[in-house]
Structure 1
Amino acid sequence: MDQFGVVVSAGSFQDTGEGAVRFPHRWTEAGVTVRADFTGAHLLHLSAAGCVLNDLYREAAGLGIHLSGVRVTAAGAFDTTTWTSTGIAYTVELDSPGDDGVLTGLLARVDEIAEIPRAIRAGAPVIRKPSNGASNAGPL
């Protein structure tokens, strides 16, 4: 289950290599870097990884835990007969002077509350609505 991999990084783990894209970020001075191809599968995995990174910084700030850097890698596969996800797995690397037990607790808390992974785990309907704008193809 390691296809369609993505990496989001911040702080001491920021990706400075060619191909990494930098975005502003609310909880980090230098923003975050993203390494992902632009396919639906990659974007799905990116949403989970980005949410985990965001929530790590948010929850750490609330708990008074300093994070010098965070790297979240996510990947997964798809059943090619139905094009349904077979699941997403993510890993987290933390650069922090915090106690290992405290950091383990932070990781467990974020895994429990991160909104996008929770939504994916629960499933949700996705519907197409008619466009209100002009379209070359006419109303769809």
Structure 2
Amino acid sequence: MKISASVKSAFQLHEVTVETENKVKPISISPKPEGFGSSINGGELLFLSLATCFCNDLYREASKRNMKIDSVQVIVSGEFGSEGEPAKNITYEVDVKANDHSDAEIWDLIKTVDKLAEIHNTLRQGINVELKKSRL
């Protein structure tokens, strides 16, 4: 599955799109109040990626088990230090409401998804990020 993300930024302009398998979706993120850059920082988006991945994977795996999920809340937090330092102490909490299922069934689903979540596994393994000369 080919995925990409794009940011186009100028004064009072901040256009964000994501794309999966040639399906482009815009995301509304306003520019900073001073007009340049994003009002949301990369750390916030990274943590949102973790929360989104877990949430989507939870629904996927619940469906495989014929579990009806009523609601999910995922909260990801961590710390960033000085410029250039990677994040540390990243943790997340998950609250799943599934009235037709026991706490043990829900916890088993959560633990399974924790092992399968692709964004989590990418960060846990570490991966090279390569700068390429612009083709734009």
| Category of TM-score, reference length = shorter chain | 0.5 to 0.7
Cα RMSD for the two superposed structures: 1.6
Structure 2 residue identity aligned to 1:48: L
Counterpart pick for 2:79 among 65, 68, 77: 77
Deviating 4+ runs (over 3 angstroms): none
Counterpart pick for 1:41 among 17, 30, 43: 43
Q: Provide TM-score, normalisation by structure 1.
A: 0.66
**Cα distance in 2 for residues equivalent to 1:123 and 1:62:** 29
CA deviations on 1:17-58 (whole Å, 9 max, x unpaired) are xxxxxx9xxxxxxxxxxxxx6101101111111100011000
Q: Structure 1: which 5+ runs fail to align?
A: 1-22, 24-36, 134-140
- Aligned partner of 1:120 in structure 2 is 123
Deviation at 1:79, TM superposition (A): 2.9
Q: Secondary structure at the match of 2:80?
A: strand
Matched, 1:57 2:63: no
Q: Structure 2: which 5+ runs fail to align?
A: 1-24, 26-38
**Cα distance in 2 for residues equivalent to 1:75 and 1:56:** 19
Compare 79-88 and 58-67 and name the one that shifted more: 79-88
- Aligned partner of 2:16 in structure 1 is none
- Aligned partner of 2:108 in structure 1 is 105
Deviation at 1:82, TM superposition (A): 4.4
**Cα distance in 1 for residues equivalent to 2:69 and 2:103:** 13
- Aligned partner of 1:68 in structure 2 is 70
Structure 1 residue identity aligned to 2:124: R
CA deviations on 1:110-138 (whole Å, 9 max, x unpaired) are 011100001001111111111211xxxxx
**Cα distance in 2 for residues equivalent to 1:81 and 1:127:** 19
Matched, 1:93 2:91: no
Q: Provide TM-score, normalisation by structure 2.
A: 0.67
Distance 1:129 1:54, change over 3 A: same
Q: Percent identity?
A: 34
Matches within 5 A, 1:5-44: 38-44=40-46
Which one has more relative contact order, counting CA pairs under 8 Å at least 6 apart?
A: 1
